[in-house]
Chain A
């Protein structure tokens, strides 16, 4: 039984191919000008990894900001639902009660009940501060690759405070700090702390209950994890591949649909 999940995010498109309840292929690519074209390419890559062809897939569920744009999917689901589903799948035994997800253009805090159903959620998609865009924009100003932000920030002895909330103003602030000769690692650690503060405020709105699961692309950033753990005063559960949790959730849902079809008398 072969299913696929595609998460069409604002910044990255992720695809997961599942075979008999296990992830066999996955791929991630920056969102191009055409969501559908990117989705096809990313799914192709994931299929190649799994050693399969598109015709082998029984059911495809799409999710994310651009989920309705692709013609590939049999069905769509909201990213909140897919994220919760993916979390249940990758952290089955961990009793996760809170999911914190930083996306490219939004951030979500999802509270789950004891049976791992969605209880409530909070979301910021109005302001770039507090989303992955904040880190991305400031990394560009610093001339640091996005994947180097985490390791560099761990070298910081005294993180600098970024006082501006607005991403645009923070950009000028970082330029000024650089011109003043402030250590790069201290600036980066300050950027992570600023984002952690905003995310923590949102998390407290839905209630922070253990275990707390942290996913989305920025969860790969060790500096971001550390800052968020310090801000919340807890240890986070971070999956091995935080960026594809939501796509995995979509693939799980697709597999369930297939199961129902197969079992139908």
Chain B
């Protein structure tokens, strides 16, 4: 139950049977209950028979669900998807979090940026709105760019004005988007580079669905990173695993 999106998965015997996401809201219990019921139906599971486990900033609103911290959920989710994962970065709506895992999947270090919106999902959403582009297309759009635009300011608010100016100057949108994706990537890479753990890196969270950001991260790091099939579901999968879904 993230700041912007609430994600749910139904798991049994180590398989994700259904997954879905809705916008987070202030009174989430009703809509999230409906989402879980719908996914249960899709998975062919009798609604209410499954063990429920919740994570994320809104988890305390889910009465009756076992609760686990975001860190636990991401660690478990990442290791379930790719057991050799040693670093998992959650590129969330309102923050970026990096977890370093030891050989046994236990978290050994944790760094976060949740004070500044630059480089978060919210940053990309605001820029997509300023550009009049669907947020879901921000990744693909940047692949057509010849040369990424240079965005001089890092603050989301100031960068938004800069983007508006670039649009007014007729700079191609794909080049602006490539510049923005590059900014997000730079922040992520700086966090990864300051981690001491070596090994497989997984990018999770909604922003990891942005292929432009992922490509820019790999270019900066000069190595491949692991992107799950549904990067935004890693935390939810971790919660399902802790509720027994892996067995």
Size of interface on A: residues with Cβ below 8 Å to B:
15
The number of A-B residue pairs with CB atoms under 8 Å apart is 37
The reply to whether A179 and B26 contact each other, CB–CB distance below 8 Å, is: yes
The reply to whether B157 and A133 contact each other, CB–CB distance below 8 Å, is: yes
Our pick among A105, A165, A166, A176 for the contact of B156 (Cβ within 8 Å) is A166
The reply to whether A33 and B122 contact each other, CB–CB distance below 8 Å, is: no
Size of interface on B: residues with Cβ below 8 Å to A:
16
Query: In the bound complex, how far is the Cα of B154 from the Cα of A220, in angstroms?
Result: 29
Nearest residue in B to A170 (C-beta to C-beta)? B117
The reply to whether A167 and B26 contact each other, CB–CB distance below 8 Å, is: no
The reply to whether B155 and A128 contact each other, CB–CB distance below 8 Å, is: yes
With A168-B122, A168-B126: A126-B154 Cβ-Cβ less than 8 Å:
yes
The reply to whether B153 and A137 contact each other, CB–CB distance below 8 Å, is: no
Min distance, Cβ A48 to any Cβ of chain B, angstroms: 30
With A127-B116, A176-B26, A179-B26: A167-B157 Cβ-Cβ less than 8 Å:
yes
Mask of A155-168 contacts with B, CB within 8 angstroms, 1/0? 00000000001111
The reply to whether A128 and B26 contact each other, CB–CB distance below 8 Å, is: no
Query: In the bound complex, how far is the Cα of B157 from the Cα of A105, in angstroms?
Result: 10
The reply to whether B115 and A165 contact each other, CB–CB distance below 8 Å, is: yes
Chain B residues 155-209 with CB under 8 Å of chain A are: 155-158, 168
The reply to whether B154 and A128 contact each other, CB–CB distance below 8 Å, is: no
Q: Which residues of B contact A (CB under 8 A)?
A: 3, 26, 94, 115-117, 122-123, 126, 153-158, 168
29 A-B pairs with C-beta separation under 8 A:
A105-B158, A126-B153, A126-B154, A126-B155, A127-B116, A128-B155, A128-B156, A128-B158, A133-B157, A133-B158, A137-B157, A165-B115, A166-B115, A166-B116, A166-B156, A167-B155, A167-B156, A167-B157, A168-B117, A168-B123, A168-B126, A168-B156, A168-B157, A169-B94, A169-B117, A172-B3, A172-B94, A176-B26, A179-B26
